[in-house]
Amino acid sequence: MAIHLMWHKMKISFKKKGLSEVVAILLLILLVVISTVIIYFFVRSLIDKGIESSEKCSQKNLDKIQFNYDNTCYYEDGAGNLLFFSIDVKDINVNKLKFFIEGGGNSKTYFIENGKRTCDSSGSCGDVIINFERCWDGSEWNFLNNPNFYLILKKNEGHTYVVEGINLPQNTKPNSMKISPVIENEECGESDFYEDIPNCLDGEFPIHASTPNDIGC
């Protein structure tokens, strides 16, 4: 009787032990599945973000934001110096442009954003780059016309801007300049680069006459 009772208890113990092992295995499998799902969605999210970023900054999009070489030149006379540069934006929404100028062994970086004044890399904003289309009033600079300083950067539009020499590196003709766009809040690489900037020619855009005071918008 005692032996039978002992054997019965051992059977119950073995069953409980076997049940515990099964539960442990099931829990382990469940944890593995949950971990796999979490890792999958995490990696998938990173991949999706990478794809989205690469699409925004694709070469196809970057090719839509270019200098207009025909309307870009450097002007200098005894009264001062000016850099005219023109940028064409095709069918793409651009948050802002990083405009980099290099010359005389130094460089400067400015940001062009629609409806805002020029800001530099330190975050300081002011009247550095001006909309050329509205920068002249009659025969002189129209510095009092504030819309000149609130830059225009819009989809499917091209605009010409002007920078005074005091805001150029070393107050001299730049060696090169480049632009890098921010597209849908994604900062992209260089979309265009321009070096060997030509001198402006009298009688051609943007210089329509022999002196700066005769430039028209």
* DSSP SS3 for 126: strand
Query: What is the reported pTM?
Result: 0.67
Within 13 Å and on the Cβ side, how many CA atoms surround 9? 6
Does residue 72 contact residue 159 with C-beta atoms inside 8 Å? Answer: no
Check whether 213 has a pLDDT greater than 90. Answer: no
Does residue 54 contact residue 62 with C-beta atoms inside 8 Å? Answer: no
Cα three-residue angle 166-172-176, rounded to 5 degrees: 115
In order of 31, 72, 91, 169, the CA distances from 84 in angstroms are 64, 5, 24, 15
Check whether 195 has a pLDDT greater than 80. Answer: yes
Please tell me the predicted confidence (pLDDT) of residue 174. 94
The mean pLDDT value of the chain amounts to 77
Give pLDDT tens digits for 70-103: 889 998 887 788 899 999 999 999 999 999 999 9
